[in-house]
Amino acid sequence: MAKTGNKLWHGRFQEATAASVEKFVASIGYDRRLARMDIAGSLAHARMLREVGLLTAGELAAIRRGLAAIERQIVAGTFPFDESLEDIHMNIEAALIRRTPAGRKLHTARSRNDQVALDLRLWAREECDAVTALVVALQKALVNQAAKNTDVVLPAYTHLQPAQPALLAHILLAYVEQLGRDRERLAETRRRINILPLGAGAVAGTTLPINRQRVAELLGFEAVARNSIDAVSDRDFALELAFDLAMIQQHLSRWAEDWILWCSNEFGYFQIPDAYSTGSSMMPQKRNPDVLELIRGKAARVYGDLTTLLVLVKGLPLAYNRDLQEDKPPIFDAADQVRSSLALAAEIVRHGRFNATRMLDRCRGGYLDATALAEYLVGRGEPFRNAHGIVGRIVAACAERKIELSEAPLELFQRFSRRIERGVYDYLGPLNVVKRYRSSGSSGRRLVAAEVKRWKKSLS
Ligand code: ARG
């Protein structure tokens, strides 16, 4: 024993592991994060072993006491993590064996290959729930702002050029829709996460009479993995979660980009409170939206995490390969970055202030009501293609005089089309336009108010 060190797998070895190898293969530095899941898995496994007669009642009791004591040490920060024991699984098992001889039976019908797959699934399941809760909180913050700002009108942009008048609430709800799809994806992923790999053993199963269904039940899994070889090599669930996270960060990044623009002097639509702004080390006047920029920047990092996972698994032969140990840093990082970004996004949405006057003011000068004028003509029998041409010429004439469509005299309109009459002024200007949008999903006042109500209800 002394010759070959402290390894639990050293029976056939003639030499101790090289120090360089111990350092190189260790994952305890990051997989200690799975300690709670590892203990929960071991408790369920031990209980099942007792039920099928592979442990005595006394042994189960000793294992339970030992694992509880280890968990307390880990929580208190006094657990002696040992790099030479590679990973969290070996650290906990070795500590248990130091506490009780029954510890030597815990690994019956189990391999670290199915154990680590289990721990990661338990972690991923919790993460789905935590991320979902944060997404819901952000949706609520957006919907509350929409409800508080039902009358605010601003330009909607295409190609970042002012396009049509829209309600601020409608734009806020666009983000809420994106996040709604993110929640659906997480719920789908969770279903596939929630399958028990334990009992697969190292790869082909065990000759011992274990009861996998019982372990699944104890740990709240929907089903047991049907193929042991697949169970230990499958990381689809982690990749899916990474994709879901990348998609969330993509939505956050696009939102951040919008609001970075909105915070600029040029737009002036939004103000981030001081508590969420940052200053410049040189320029005394600055208030910068660094938090939004970092949310945008972290998207690169989360995409990197997803890419790392995709590349990690692409060439692996069945079944478990040690490469899979490298799955943890990227998936942990993706979850951490997305969680903190979601939390900060919600705070900024909650505490920021919109400048409604400025938004309405920016509806001037861009002829945002031109499409509504063309549709007015369509309503009076003009084919749309003709109406488009007529209004284009009217816009050019108004631009030359530096006036809005709503400021043009009736004679000007009538020079281009006899169909335009006095009532046209009820169709022009941003406020008239948002009153008149009527297609479902549009920025119409009543439609948007109904959507705000619907979302409020579904989120409460
Ligand atoms: N630390 C390993 C991982 O994270 C645990 C499984 C090790 N299994 C093995 N056969 N070496 O994947």
Kindly give the distance from the C-alpha atom of residue 325 to the centroid of ligand 1, in angstroms, as a whole number: 6
> Are residues 191 and 334 both part of a single domain?
yes
- Structure confidence at residue 1 (pLDDT): 41
C-alpha distance from residue 444 to each of 39, 126, 369, 426, 449 (Å):
55, 40, 14, 15, 8
Q: Is 343 in contact with 134 (CB distance < 8 Å)?
A: yes
To test the pocket of ligand 1, the residue of 325, 326, 328, 332 to mutate (highest count of ligand atoms within 8 Å of its CB) is: 325
On whether residue 311 sits in a domain, the answer given is yes
Q: Which atom of ligand 1 is nearest to the CA of 88?
A: 1
C-alpha distance from residue 399 to each of 285, 402, 408 (Å):
36, 5, 10
Kindly give the distance from the C-alpha atom of residue 87 to the centroid of ligand 1, in angstroms, as a whole number: 8
Q: What is the CATH number of the domain that holds 414?
A: 1.10.40.30
On whether residue 3 sits in a domain, the answer given is no
- Which residue has tokens 């109406």? 387
On whether residue 19 sits in a domain, the answer given is no
- Structure confidence at residue 21 (pLDDT): 95
- Structure confidence at residue 4 (pLDDT): 63
Q: 290-314 and 236-263 are packed helices; what angle lies between their axes, rounded to 10 degrees? A: 160
Which residue is catalytic, options 20, 84, 159, 281? 159
Q: Is 138 in contact with 437 (CB distance < 8 Å)?
A: no
The protein residue with its alpha carbon nearest to ligand 1, atom 7, reads: 112
Residue range(s) defining the domain that contains residue 195: 113-361
> Are residues 103 and 204 both part of a single domain?
no
On whether residue 418 sits in a domain, the answer given is yes
Domain count, the chain: 3
Helix or strand holding residue 175 (H, E): helix 168-193
Kindly give the distance from the C-alpha atom of residue 113 to the centroid of ligand 1, in angstroms, as a whole number: 6
Tell which of 361, 389, 423 closes a domain: 361
Is residue 351 annotated as a catalytic residue, yes or no? no
Q: Which residues contact 392 (CB under 8 A, 6 or more apart)?
A: 370
> Are residues 98 and 130 both part of a single domain?
no
Closest CA to 83 of 141, 31, 15: 31
> Are residues 93 and 129 both part of a single domain?
no
Q: What is the CATH number of the domain that holds 104?
A: 1.10.275.10
Each of the 460 residues of the chain gets a pLDDT tens digit; together they read: 445 677 888 889 999 999 999 999 999 999 999 999 999 999 999 999 999 999 999 999 999 999 999 999 999 999 999 999 999 999 999 999 999 999 999 999 999 999 999 999 999 999 999 999 999 999 999 999 999 999 999 999 999 999 999 999 999 999 999 999 999 999 999 999 999 999 999 999 999 999 999 999 999 999 999 999 999 999 999 999 999 999 999 999 999 999 999 999 999 999 999 999 999 999 999 999 999 999 999 999 999 999 999 999 999 999 999 999 999 999 999 999 999 999 999 999 999 999 999 999 999 999 999 999 999 999 999 999 999 999 999 999 999 999 999 999 999 999 999 999 999 999 999 999 999 999 999 999 999 999 999 999 999 9
- The CA dihedral of 418, 421, 425, 430, to the nearest 10 degrees, is -40
Is residue 159 annotated as a catalytic residue, yes or no? yes
Q: Which atom of ligand 1 is nearest to the CA of 324?
A: 12
> Are residues 168 and 57 both part of a single domain?
no
> Are residues 96 and 244 both part of a single domain?
no
3-state helix, strand, coil in the chain (%, to 5): 65, 5, 30
Q: What is the CATH number of the domain that holds 232?
A: 1.20.200.10
On whether residue 12 sits in a domain, the answer given is no
Tell which of 108, 141, 168 closes a domain: 108
To test the pocket of ligand 1, the residue of 113, 118, 203, 313 to mutate (highest count of ligand atoms within 8 Å of its CB) is: 113
Give phi and psi for 98, each to the nearest 5. -65, -30
On whether residue 207 sits in a domain, the answer given is yes
Kindly give the distance from the C-alpha atom of residue 8 to the centroid of ligand 1, in angstroms, as a whole number: 13
The protein residue with its alpha carbon nearest to ligand 1, atom 11, reads: 322
> Are residues 296 and 212 both part of a single domain?
yes
Q: Is 320 in contact with 232 (CB distance < 8 Å)?
A: yes
On whether residue 15 sits in a domain, the answer given is no
> Are residues 350 and 375 both part of a single domain?
no
> Are residues 333 and 350 both part of a single domain?
yes
Any residues with Cβ below 6 Å from ligand 1, and which? 27, 31, 87, 112-113, 116, 320, 322, 324-325
Q: How far apart are alpha carbons 103 and 93 in whole angstroms?
A: 7
- Structure confidence at residue 2 (pLDDT): 45
> Are residues 175 and 272 both part of a single domain?
yes
On whether residue 392 sits in a domain, the answer given is yes
> Are residues 117 and 201 both part of a single domain?
yes
> Are residues 222 and 304 both part of a single domain?
yes
- Structure confidence at residue 76 (pLDDT): 98
Single pTM value for the model:
0.96
Tell which of 55, 89, 108 closes a domain: 108
Which residue is catalytic, options 10, 20, 107, 280? 280
